[in-house]
Each structure stands twice: as structure tokens, then as C-alpha cells.
Structure 1
Amino acid sequence: MSRKYPAPPAHGPRRTNSARRSPLPIVNETSAGGVIISVRDGHAYVAVIARRNRGGRLEWCLPKGHLEGTETAEQAAVREISEETGIHGHVLRHLASIDYWFSGHDRRVHKVVHHFLLEALHGTLTVENDPDHEAEMVEWVRIDRVSTRLAYPNERRIVGVARTLLEK
């Protein structure tokens, strides 16, 4: 038994809209930063910064930034945290790496951010050393309260990992 199928529509060649934009180019970016801890009076505190998001809203987040030149993720984390918070520290361990996508007006970005746990060694909280002037404010927040301050769920989870490690 042969099936009958309807004839294809009687159209000419398919035309494309020449005004339609071609796909955006993809750019890969790598950043590093993390959770820098200072223990005072038996409580762990985390340095967090406030910066403007793409929409102009002020959001609290963990300090982080792009790798420069040939530096490693650990080196970039130490440098970025120092620049954005004024606090110099050393890496205790890797906490997590997250990746996400976002689109700008001329490109799609695949970003990977490596987060580390750092111990504060010395310094004073300040945003004055941030060469990009992205950080507008910086504060020490108790680790058991910092999740309510952070804007991004991934960063709240990373602080949770740090807190679990510190409680062991």
C-alpha cells in the first residue's frame, strides 16, 4: 500500500533576510578571585565588594578579575583580591570553578571563574587601588551572614563550601 503525501508548497527558492545579523562571535574569558578570610574574635569574616552590574545596579559580590599575561589563576586571585579590597592574602586551596555565558552587543562570552579560599595576611580595606575602578565599596562581613549580602547564587554556594571547610 502506498501512502500519499501532500505536495510541497509551490514556493520559489527560499530567501533570507539580508538585514538579519550573522551569529555573534564567541569570546572565551577566564577570571579568578575568591573568598578571603580574616578571623577576629573567634569569627571568620569575608571581604566582599560592591560593583555595578551591566544594568547599573549596585551588587555585592566576591572580588575577582581577569588573568593578566602569563599569570596563573592563583596569582590572578591574589592580585585581584588585593586590588579590589586592599587585603593581601595567600591561597589555602581551590574552592570551585564556575562557567557561564552572557551576551554583549557585539559578542557572546563564555566565562570561567576560578574561586579560591585565601587567608588574609595584611592590609586595610580600600577600593582605591582598583585600577579598573569597578569596586565602589568593600566590607568585612561575617561568614555566617555573607550569603544574605551576595547577589549571585553561585557565589553564595562557594562561600558555603568555604564555610564547611573552615568548620572542619
Structure 2
Amino acid sequence: MSTPAPAGDRPIGRPDVPTPPGGAPLRVDPSRVATAPAAAAAHLPVVDETSAGGLVLRPTPGFPSTPTGFDAAVLLRRNRSGRIEWCLPKGHLEGLETPEEAAIREIREETGIHGSIQVDLGVIDYWFTGEDRRVHKVVHHFLLRADGGSLTVENDPDGEAEDVVWVGLHDLPAKLSYPNEQRLAAVAAERVGSSPELLAALRSGRSHLETPDHP
């Protein structure tokens, strides 16, 4: 596999590639991102799409037990212009899957890491327009603990990623290409830093699924 970025557990450094483009804000006015004239776009059929994914974390090897001592698995993909994008693993729900089930499966397929959900990080909701449809996209994001596996993109059925790497949680907002995902990474770091129970669960293997009685 050829890629401009390091792989596996090697030290992480920003590859020598052009700065990737930014992403869409949380809620985008479809008329601002339409690729067709507004009048034409208004007559396109609307399609709803739902995806799930998120951040799967491991303790940074040899790093002290602190909220910043974690790495997240990040995918490296090329966009249509050939530029590298650093993004979180995610994908469409299949069949009767719940968002949680889809997030676990997609992360396993795209990164090789088997994870368990610890925290719901929230939903990104946006619109975009293609050649024959307007798409309302909803993406559920979760914080997962890495329970096993090793980094690989060889099992991704879509074959879209060029590589997958571990990136320090504190470095993640600066690495990710899309503003929405940058904000999610910041939220994840804040959640880990503010919850001793979550921090312990991520390090000990004890589950930290949230319930109404356990915010």
C-alpha cells in the first residue's frame, strides 16, 4: 500500500501534502452548497441517509494515565482532487442495524479495531446536492474503547481509505480535515477530561455506557 502518511504504530507526522479542504458546518443551507442552480435543485428528489461511526481510543503506549494519554484511529483518504483527507471512520447503517451496531461494525471494517461504545458524542446533520438528488445526511458519532485488533484498511469493503493511523487525542482537532469532526474530537477530549469514570473505563476495560441515571 502506498501512502504519504505513516502507518500503524509509527510516530505520527503531518504528511507533505496540500492542506485538505474544510467540511460543511453543522447545519448547512442546501441552497449554499447546491452544485446545480437553486431553481433546478429545488425540483430534485430528497433522499435521507443515515450513517454512524466515531472515535475509537486506545491508551497511548508508555504515556502517563491522563486524559490526554489516548490515541484515536484516523483514516487517510484522497478526495476527488487527489488531496489527502484525515477523517473519522463511519458508514451507512445496513439492514436493521442500530446506529450503535453500525458504528462498531464500520470502525472494525475500516480500521481493523474492535471497539465497544462508551459515550454517545452526538449527531451531525447536513445537506448536500448531487447530480440527481438532494441528500439529507445524518451521522451518529460515538466514543469507543479499543478492545482488540490491529490497524489495517485491508478489510474495508469499500476500499476507500489509503491508510489508517493512530493520532494523539490532543492532536486530533488539528489533524482532522473537516470542521465538524474537529469539533467532535474536541468534545471527546473534554468528555474524557471531565469524567474520571470514563477515563477509568477507557483504561481498565470496564464499560461506561451512559444511562438516564448516569450522565
Bin for the TM-score computed over the shorter chain = 0.7 to 0.9
- Following superposition, the deviation at residue 58 of structure 1 comes to 2.2
Summarize the Cα distance change of 1:54–1:111 in structure 2 as closer, same or farther, 3 Å threshold: farther
- Following superposition, the deviation at residue 134 of structure 1 comes to 1.1
Correspondence for 1:35: 55
Letter in 1 for 2:107: I
Deviations 1:25-49 (A, max 9, x none): 1110000000111012231101100
- Following superposition, the deviation at residue 108 of structure 1 comes to 0.9
Summarize the Cα distance change of 1:57–1:108 in structure 2 as closer, same or farther, 3 Å threshold: farther
TM-score by length of 2: 0.66
Correspondence for 1:47: 73
- State which of 169, 172, 175 in structure 2 corresponds to 1:149: 175
- Following superposition, the deviation at residue 106 of structure 1 comes to 1.1
Hey, what's the Cα distance between the residues in 1 that align with 2:131 and 2:156? 26
Structure with higher strand content: 1
Structure with higher helix content: 2
Deviations 1:1-58 (A, max 9, x none): xxxxxxxxxxxxxxxxxxx957111110000000111012231101100123344432
Instruction: Name the % identity.
Output: 58
Moved more, 54-63 or 26-35: 54-63
Name segments (4+ residues, structure 1) moved above 2 Å. Answer: 52-58
The secondary structure found in structure 2 opposite 1:151 is coil
- State which of 60, 69, 87 in structure 1 corresponds to 2:113: 87
Hey, what's the Cα distance between the residues in 2 that align with 1:21 and 1:157? 33
- State which of 64, 83, 86 in structure 1 corresponds to 2:90: 64
Summarize the Cα distance change of 1:96–1:21 in structure 2 as closer, same or farther, 3 Å threshold: closer
Letter in 2 for 1:85: T
Hey, what's the Cα distance between the residues in 2 that align with 1:101 and 1:21? 16
* Bigger Rg over Cα: 1
- Following superposition, the deviation at residue 103 of structure 1 comes to 1.2
Q: Extract unaligned runs of 5+ from structure 1.
A: 1-19
The secondary structure found in structure 2 opposite 1:131 is coil
Deviations 1:61-120 (A, max 9, x none): 000000000000000000000111000000001001011111111111110000000000
Correspondence for 1:162: 188
Letter in 2 for 1:44: F
TM-score by length of 1: 0.84
Residues 99-114 of structure 1 correspond to what in structure 2 (within 5 A)?
99-114=125-140
Summarize the Cα distance change of 1:102–1:21 in structure 2 as closer, same or farther, 3 Å threshold: closer
The count of aligned residue pairs is: 149
Deviations 1:122-163 (A, max 9, x none): 011000000000111100000111111101111011111110
